[in-house]
């Protein structure tokens, strides 16, 4: 008998794989080969979910196959905490960490700082002609469309 939390975790990882499968099959710019490789990798990963422990070499092979097919799909799965938790052993075997684990390693990341809004300065195209100069003081050409 499985614990309810374990089955919930498996169901959440399965739903992440299902969402990725939808992306694979509905994205128009993927080639037939990319779809075939990605679906094969997702099938291998999905087959591992019913087990008590995932098969590390087979899951690692599936993750590598998915990464080779389309790295953005593998990156999307790495953003899902439930997927990363369920497949943590093969990810460690490959030397890959989830996004959350990477953010935990760098709590003061520069990338986490919000981008500031407008700075209160007008754009150079909005300035009067006499103020529109380059760094050397030469006048700029008129803005496009004038």
Is pLDDT of 122 > 80? no
In this prediction, residue 1 carries a pLDDT of 45
Domain boundaries, the chain: 4-99
Decide which of 100 and 27 is more confident: 27
Cα separation of 80 and 83, whole Å? 5
- pTM for the full predicted model: 0.64
**What are the Cα distances from residue 97, in Å, to 78, 93, 104, 113?**
8, 10, 11, 22
In this prediction, residue 22 carries a pLDDT of 92
Is pLDDT of 121 > 80? no
The closest of 34, 85, 87, 86 to 63, measured between CA atoms, is 87
Distance, first Cα to last Cα, the chain? 75
Is pLDDT of 103 > 70? no
Model pLDDT for residues 6-26, shown as the tens digit of each residue: 568 788 999 999 999 999 999
């Amino acid at each position: 008998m499985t614990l309810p939390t374990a089955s919930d975790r498996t169901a959440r990882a399965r739903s992440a794989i299902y969402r990725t499968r939808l992306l694979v099959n509905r994205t128009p710019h993927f080639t037939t080969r990319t779809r075939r490789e990605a679906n094969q990798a997702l099938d291998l990963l999905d087959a591992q979910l019913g087990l008590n422990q995932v098969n590390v070499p087979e899951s690692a092979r599936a993750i590598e196959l998915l990464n080779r097919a389309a790295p953005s799909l593998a990156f999307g799965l790495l953003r899902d905490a439930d997927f990363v938790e369920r497949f943590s052993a093969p990810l460690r075997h490959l030397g890959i960490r989830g996004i959350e684990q990477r953010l935990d390693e760098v709590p003061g990341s520069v990338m986490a700082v919000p981008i500031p809004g407008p700075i209160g300065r007008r754009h150079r195209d909005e300035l009067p002609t006499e103020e529109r100069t380059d760094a050397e003081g030469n006048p700029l050409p008129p803005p496009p469309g004038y």
